[in-house]
Amino acid sequence: MKEFFDKVDQNDRVLGKITRYEAHQLNIRHRAVHIFVQDTRGLWLMQKRSSRKDLDPLKWTTSCSGHVDAGESYIEAAERECVEELGINMSRNDLREIFRCSPCTETGAEFVRVYVAGKQFTNFTPDVSEIAEIDFYSFLELSKKCKEEEQIFSGSFLHLFRFVAPRLINYSRGS
């Protein structure tokens, strides 16, 4: 099944529709979301991408992430990805936007919006076609892993984490 994304200009305005292949092979600007989910213990859920993924297989990344489909809003994509990848129904009221990133090499020409959600979630049902495994980390454990084991993380995750880390630590403290 072909996936279609919105092709966007440098100001994130929709210009038309492109396929996933076109977006990635031709380096065309498009949109994506990343969601950091915190469990009831205050730990951050991380996922190891499936070996079947075309980008960064078997690399660790945010709780869930994905492209914004053509005609879809960022928040709709975030809600959909939470259901598809983690099996959790999340409404836009559960999600708080904490960062926006413009397209760059590290994000694969994607405008990215990063969301956090948490503390009310306990039951996760990862989609095995999307996720090889999940694990939970305190903010300090995750920060240390990012510094000491960079090679196990996706490039886009490491790039985004540098910007969102201060916001995650504040979120962990209840700010």
Structural domain count of the chain: 1
Task: For 14-57, write each residue's pLDDT tens digit.
Answer: 999 999 999 999 999 999 999 999 998 889 999 999 999 988 99
pTM of the full structure: 0.94
Residue matched to tokens 């196990």: 152
> What is the rounded distance in angstroms from the CA atom of residue 78 to the CA atom of residue 84?
10
Asked whether residue 171 is domain-assigned, the answer is no
Asked whether residue 142 is domain-assigned, the answer is yes
Angle among Cα 65, 70, 75 to the nearest 5 degrees reads 45
Asked whether residue 15 is domain-assigned, the answer is yes
59: containing domain: 4-166
Please tell me the predicted confidence (pLDDT) of residue 118: 78
Task: For 109-122, write each residue's pLDDT tens digit.
Answer: 999 999 999 777 77
Which CATH number does the domain housing residue 62 bear? 3.90.79.10
